[in-house]
Structure 1
């Protein structure tokens, strides 16, 4: 992997414009066809490409505008996975049940995944001097979803052992990654909440993990993510965003990175870590001393959860502090997460969103030149 870094960056998702949200609602109600919805998505993505390029981003995305969910839409693209949108025991946010999940309906495989054609549309309409990255949930995230209490019965129906599930997950992801690379993809980002679960010490139901369970999860998640990275083409850059939850400006995890620094920072074979550092919930920068080799860190210092603009000098001071643990030439800056990990975005305006990105650019220019 090449060790590249953008000094100011974004995680991937953007607030959906109202007309796109309205079109998705009409599609779900059967009032417009899938083809008509895709035309609206295309319009929104074309506008987003223009805005990202105008603000000076060197790596852009489609904003995840074709997705209802940052992770399940990708899982649903695998063969052997059912689309579930009405699970009564789904994740709870602000007292409401978000009842989507991915449930196995057979052995999984990753051929001809629809995300590749989606990525091609953005690539074909972007300028030649920008990189169109693709964000997908980490392999560890897929297995964690398959092992949730609400899905475990179906998973065991098709996989008698965890080892078999891990093997097929790595193979399915590897198929997707190699097909995406053959289509021209240069930068892939794993979005990963599994480490956030470890940091919080609790599973989806709020049950406390035992020390044995935590150690087992660390070993499992590392094996899954590295297994796919090891099978990736040498010319592909693989990064990861470690997330603590990002639904309608809420979160599920708090705590410093100390408990996951080894093996996450020491042994996960990514090019760059995008890390949430927008609040005291993330702890200090000390665990960054564990980042091995010449890997980079993009500091998520600006929050995407509200519209209040950060103080520029305070951001620069925090970058300087982090440089005490990772050299400045291996650091960048971004928002702590995307602006809309699901169709329901965070509690800020589109104007706030672009002001945040512009501020990051100003800070990067003053710190790195």
Structure 2
């Protein structure tokens, strides 16, 4: 694809804390106390209020807060034909707690259908709220690599051979389904799409890599598969469509899944993934140093996630500015930017901070951007 140079602008990674009224409506829907129409009405009002707040906060790009999702990734997967929603029996083990046990599993050949995938209508509503304003709508979706990681998770992988004779056929269908989805968003007016991708975190954690599973994973050549899937999905797209990616180490109820610097993936992810901008987690020592940024190729940008979204304590302003200057030793300042390290609610549980605190975080981000980059 052609990498289109475009101002990064003030933008949040994606998700926001769900307001109490929305959480109650989702529970009422689960308990069959209200129907889908009633739930959608509550969602629409909550998203309308959120977008107004985003615009008032000065955000150049706004999201719907992922308010219609339970998960940052699984809800999108479930919208594809050939993907089923099941309960795995156990969740993912984060550092301090286990997630819920939902997963995505193959039930047929993977296809995208714009008429049945709910995210297209979700984006159309978001776009309607930004029409007539200076704000641009940003669509966040999980990366193709993330879908592959879910499909080969443990016993989920047993389903693949029921529908695909070769891995290459599966790769082709994932890439095609994503490419078709991205073009459908484009047709509805999306000009910035962000691929959220935690799959690379598996290569960063020394504790995981020291296990037999970790060693096998690191030596499997799967980095090349993840790169192929992501690049295959975003090739041959319109020149005025910007594709960014967000890479972190897990974000569930303020917990994390992996630790470790970006060094083990820099030669693949930073050098060869054909995105315009990387949103990178850099809010703690778990993320390592800035040296891997030297591997970011071409004229691609990096948004430094130096402000944590995992708690409400505001960072020291000068410490953040000093860290930006440190990062500029490896990538020029005009190719760097600032954001939170992740969303505030990658799942509907949300992180352990208040709504006021999330807006204070974004206010801090904006003020530092204005000072450092003018």
TM-score (norm 1): 0.96
- Following TM superposition, the consecutive aligned residue runs of length 4 or more in structure 1 with deviations greater than 6 angstroms are none
Q: Distance in 1 between matches of 2:150 and 2:168?
A: 16
Is the 8 Å Cα contact of residues 195 and 242 (structure 1) preserved in structure 2? yes
SS at match of 2:358: helix
Gaps of 5+ in 2: none
Query: Does the 8 Å contact 2:9/2:60 carry over to 1?
Result: no
Give me the whole-angstrom Cα distance separating, in 1, the residues matched to 2:97 and 2:282.
26
| Of 72, 77, 83, the match for 1:70 | 72
1:161 CA displacement: 1.9
Residue in 2 that maps onto 1:89? 90
Determine the structure 2 residue equivalent to 1:100. Answer: 102
**Of residues 224, 237, 251 in structure 1, which corresponds to 2:229?**
224
TM-score (norm 2): 0.95
1:237-290 per-position Cα deviation (integer Å, ceiling 9, x unaligned):
000000200000001110011110001110000000000000000011011011
Structure 1 CA distance, aligned partners of 2:365 and 2:351?
19
Match of 2:121 in 1: 117
SS in 2 for 1:30: coil
Structure 1 unaligned regions, length at least 5: none
- Secondary structure of 2:48's partner? helix
Pick closer, same or farther for the CA change 1:348–1:207 going to 2, 3 Å: farther
Please state whether the residue corresponding to 1:104 is helix, strand or coil: strand
Distance change >3 Å, CA 212–CA 340, structure 1 → 2 = closer
Residue 239 of structure 1 corresponds to which residue in structure 2? Answer: 244
Distance between the aligned counterparts of 1:43 and 1:214, measured in 2? Answer: 49
For residue 46 of structure 1, the aligned residue among 40, 44, 48 is: 48
* Equivalent of 1:186 in 188, 191, 195: 191
Aligned length: 367
Q: Distance in 2 between matches of 1:211 and 1:308?
A: 39
RMSD: 1.6
1:322 equivalenced with 2:323 (yes/no)? no
Match runs of 1:162-311 below 5 Å? 162-200=167-205, 208-210=213-215, 213-214=218-219, 216-311=221-316
Judge conservation of contact 1:101–1:145 (CA < 8 Å) in 2.
yes
Question: SS where residue 108 of structure 2 aligns?
Answer: strand
Deviation at 1:333, TM superposition (A): 0.2
Contact 2:337/2:369 (8 A) holds in 1? yes
